[in-house]
Structure 1
Amino acid sequence: MTAASPRAPVAGRRELVLVMLRGGLVPLLLVDLVFCTLHVARWLEVLESDLLLLNVDRGAAEWWQYLKASAVAVALAIMSARSRQPVYAAWALVFAYALLDDSLMIHERGGFRLAHFLGFVGAIGLRGQDFGELMVSAFFGVPLIALCWWAHRRSKPLAQSHSLQLLWMFAVLLFFGVVVDMGHVALVSAGIGFRGMNVIEDGGELFAMSLATAYGIGLLRQWGSSMAERQGRTTSTATAKGSTSASTRVMNYDPFDGRSRRLLDPIDPPPDTHPVAVTPAVARQIIDSFVKRGGSAHSAAGATVWVVLAWCKKQGVAYQLIRHSTGELSGFYIEKLR
């Protein structure tokens, strides 16, 4: 037991990586790396367009970030609708807000106005506006995280495990977007900032959003595959049940069910036959032979012809009664029609 316990987290991490790879983690990170490279190239003045910088509003990298935030929000919303687990919808709202905050500059504009309205002053290397931005982010962020917690408690264990994975990914995003951002401001205020901080801050946000995007898309693809597989198994099971039911209907011995040893009187015997009474067990043997061979031959007396005909009529099985007479080989043949 002690040797097996440490392996559980490893299996969880392996599954996490597989889900993200399925969601396109590698190409997402490669595109992020391209934008970081373009930023450095512009910084070194190898390229001329400022839109290639990571920290430029409405730049190429920022539009790429908008696309990823939209993708993860939509993927989680679809997951919630299909799985009926509220925690996915809650996280979809979180990433939707992250998209709106970046595109509309909610915390920057709100923080600027709040700082001027309340008269915030700079401290510990941060500007008054920075404190305003933190308050605006907390104003919107705390209710959203509370909503995630509420939805988490009301979701199934599997959805809860996915929620915890999304939590740490969002925490990484906040680390670069808030902690590193504020640290950058403080370093610049202290006169010890360096230009590479933009790559760490904005590049870190790119990579963190790629993790969440790959995970959200991977979850949706995994759920779709599992549902398709489940439907396939259901169809196979239904087909098997249908075949079994059909077989059961064919081998339904009514009106010769039961274990009674009492002789059964002939039921509507055809003319020109000399029917005899049989027990239910004998009748079932005759029917088994008829079904297996697709027909049954009877003597000229036709003593048990009535057994097969009575069973066919009761079960709705099509048949053809043939009377043949070839010298001494006269008799009856009942053919089972397919």
Structure 2
Amino acid sequence: MKVALKSFWCQIPDFNPMAILGFFVLADALAWLLYGFYTQDILTSRFFHIARDRGFGEIVQYPKFGVMIAVLVRARRQWPSRLVNAWLILFTVMLLDDAIGIHEAIGGWLLPEPSAHWRGLRLKDLAEAAAIAALEGGTFLYMAYCHFREPPAKRVFSWWFIAGLVPVIFSGLVLDIVRVPMLEAAGEMIAMTILLAVVLWRYRVRRDAPPVPAPGAHALPMTS
């Protein structure tokens, strides 16, 4: 069974970055279109509110993480690396946190009174940010540990991933705390698309890189 699954995975065509990105840009545009219908009372369910947690606009972002995880699974098979594994774990944790709402549940448990404020900020939002820092931040620290344990040549892709992650962190933490729901929703969509583009690009760069000339040498994971 394991051999069959491995064979099936290897037969899946390579990822087409432009097609994937184009699909998600259209999906994001659809989310905004449906939100426009919602504001005009054509659609009545709050599921289509662009800033709703676990609404259509947010759910569209989950497959972006799914594609990134799939890319890293394939990269891990082709170029085994502890650092690739660490990024795979980080993206999986981020997806589960977003989909299940772990940090929101923790924030609500710590501060069940949503109206409590401190210097203009909701304490519940600060509690949720602290939960994100503990959950995803801890996983990020593990990735950073693996990152700096690797030789510089093996860190190239990771530096790009970190750069792509910055807009996601900004939209998920800063914009959430300052309570600008529409800007947060738009920022998350754009940031996730940027991160997805970076992951697809680095995979394509490594895949198309020439093989290591030294006989018997192993290819460096996503280093080019």
Q: TM-score range by the shorter chain?
A: 0.7 to 0.9
Give the 3-state SS of the residue equivalent to 2:111 in structure 1. helix
Give the 3-state SS of the residue equivalent to 1:54 in structure 2. coil
Given the alignment, which residue of 158, 163, 169 partners 1:174?
169
> More deviation in 216-225 or 35-44?
216-225
Given the alignment, which residue of 180, 202, 206 partners 1:219?
202
1:62 aligns to 2:45 (yes or no): no
* Matched letter for residue 168 of structure 2: L
Q: TM-score, normalised by structure 2?
A: 0.75
Report the CA distance shift for 1:141/1:20 in structure 2 as closer, same or farther (over 3 A).
farther
1:137 aligns to what? 132
Give the 3-state SS of the residue equivalent to 2:92 in structure 1. helix
Query: RMSD value over aligned CA atoms?
Result: 2.9
2:148 aligns to what? 153
Take 1:160 and 1:43, find their aligned partners in 2: how far apart are those partners? Answer: 46
Counterparts of 1:138-287 in structure 2, within 5 Å, are 138-184=133-179, 197-226=180-209, 230=211
Give the 3-state SS of the residue equivalent to 2:121 in structure 1. coil
Counterparts of 1:116-131 in structure 2, within 5 Å, are 116=112, 122-131=117-126
Take 1:207 and 1:200, find their aligned partners in 2: how far apart are those partners? Answer: 11
Unaligned runs of 5+ in 1: 1-18, 185-196, 235-338
Q: TM-score, normalised by structure 1?
A: 0.52
Take 1:131 and 1:56, find their aligned partners in 2: how far apart are those partners? Answer: 19
The question of whether the paired residues in 2 share the 8 Å contact of 1:85 and 1:156 is answered with no
Could you tell me how far 1:230 is from its partner in structure 2? 4.3
Report the CA distance shift for 1:168/1:53 in structure 2 as closer, same or farther (over 3 A).
same
Give the 3-state SS of the residue equivalent to 1:45 in structure 2. coil
* Matched letter for residue 175 of structure 1: F
Take 1:220 and 1:102, find their aligned partners in 2: how far apart are those partners? Answer: 24
Report the CA distance shift for 1:158/1:210 in structure 2 as closer, same or farther (over 3 A).
farther
Could you tell me how far 1:206 is from its partner in structure 2? 1.4
The question of whether the paired residues in 2 share the 8 Å contact of 1:20 and 1:211 is answered with no
Could you tell me how far 1:170 is from its partner in structure 2? 1.4
- 1:51-96 Cα distance to aligned partner (Å, 9 max, x none): 2222233332222211111211231233234212322221222211
- 1:131-184 Cα distance to aligned partner (Å, 9 max, x none): 221221121133212112111113343441221221122110111111111111
Could you tell me how far 1:25 is from its partner in structure 2? 2.9
The question of whether the paired residues in 2 share the 8 Å contact of 1:25 and 1:211 is answered with no
The question of whether the paired residues in 2 share the 8 Å contact of 1:23 and 1:221 is answered with no
- 1:107-138 Cα distance to aligned partner (Å, 9 max, x none): 11101112259xx9520122232222122112
The question of whether the paired residues in 1 share the 8 Å contact of 2:47 and 2:55 is answered with yes
Unaligned runs of 5+ in 2: 1-14, 216-224
* Matched letter for residue 90 of structure 1: A
Give the 3-state SS of the residue equivalent to 1:140 in structure 2. helix
* Matched letter for residue 181 of structure 1: D
Report the CA distance shift for 1:20/1:129 in structure 2 as closer, same or farther (over 3 A).
farther
2:6 aligns to what? none
Give the 3-state SS of the residue equivalent to 2:60 in structure 1. helix
Report the CA distance shift for 1:86/1:23 in structure 2 as closer, same or farther (over 3 A).
farther
Which of the pair is proportionally richer in helix?
2
What is the identity percentage for the equivalent residue pairs of Structure 1 and Structure 2? 24
* Matched letter for residue 92 of structure 1: L
1:33 aligns to what? 29
Take 1:55 and 1:69, find their aligned partners in 2: how far apart are those partners? Answer: 19
- 1:263-290 Cα distance to aligned partner (Å, 9 max, x none): xxxxxxxxxxxxxxxxxxxxxxxxxxxx
Question: Relative contact order, CA 8 A, sep 6+: which one is greater?
Answer: 2
Take 1:222 and 1:81, find their aligned partners in 2: how far apart are those partners? Answer: 16
